[in-house]
Amino acid sequence: MFESLQRQTRGASLMTQSAPPPSPKDHLPTMYDLPSEALEEPGLPDEFHILQPQLLSATFRPTACPQEEIFTAGDLNFYYDLRHLLWYKRPDWFAVIGVPSLYEERELRRSYVLWQEGIAPTVVIEFLSPSTEAEDLGRSSCGADEPPTKWQVYERILRVPYYIVFDGDVGRMRLFQLLGIRYQEVTLAEPRFWFEELGIGIGLWRGFWLKLERPWLRWFDERGQWIATPEEEQRHRAEQAEQEAEQLREEMERLKVQLRSLGLQPDRGPAA
């Protein structure tokens, strides 16, 4: 199947200049055609790699863009090279600004296919582990006929403006910004960074999330306040409603005391 797709791609490149360019969706593989699983890494990631992306997505609310024009994902196949249709990376978490949150505004994505979507991520985050540290930090290399490393893809091909590496075991965040053609590490006086063009910041938060208290990456707003998850907002509303109800009960008791001081019996029902 994929040999046929590659022949179609090569044939498309030989079309005459006078012919209108076909839409990528008409002749190139889409997310329906490409594998959605990690072929060389079968099975699910560990729990941290599941929970941390959920917290990042739940609190990623940049003010510079409507939520319906934001797509975030973790551990999703990301296809990026038309010359090698099966080459992909699986970022631990990434955010794309300017695409519908649903594929073609109607369906969940199975993969992210760059030549179909047309927009690269603004932020990519990798969670450091001993087996991936060299590649995540740009210390590994690849052969001439091998897929490029993550660092090379993010820096040179996708040109992702911000790349973050997070070591969850020790709670260390490192942030790299694309300046010119290379990543430069940003010196952080504290483990927080504000993205002016997005209207949101990211930082290290130690707290209880779902089932565990530990250091987490989390987004914060322009006031420096951690952005609440939908579950936290719901719990806050419930607590606020309970506080308001308690205040109302206390006010009713004060009124009863005042009425009794006037010789009235507020607890008695109306006279028959």
User: Which residues are CB-contacts of 232 (< 8 A; sequence separation ≥ 6)?
Assistant: none
Q: Which residue has the higher pLDDT, 153 or 38?
A: 153
Q: Which residue has the higher pLDDT, 7 or 188?
A: 188
Q: Residue 266: pLDDT band by 50, 70, 90 thresholds?
A: confident
To the nearest whole number, what is the mean pLDDT of the chain? 86
Res 42 pLDDT > 50: no
Of 43-47, 165-169, 172-176, 222-226, the range with the lowest mean pLDDT is: 43-47
| CATH 3.90.1570 segments of the chain | 2-227
Task: Confirm whether pTM is higher than 0.85.
Answer: no
Q: In whole angstroms, give the CA distance from residue 253 to residue 249.
A: 6
Q: In whole angstroms, give the CA distance from residue 170 to residue 137.
A: 16
What pLDDT, in 10s, does the model give residues 92-114?
999 999 999 999 989 999 999 99
**Domain 2-227 grouped into CATH 3.90.1570:** yes
Using CA atoms of 211, 214, 215, 220 in order, give the dihedral in degrees to the nearest 10: 40
Res 14 pLDDT > 60: no
Q: In whole angstroms, give the CA distance from residue 102 to residue 110.
A: 11
Res 272 pLDDT > 60: no
Of 1-10, 13-22, 93-102, 257-266, the range with the lowest mean pLDDT is: 1-10
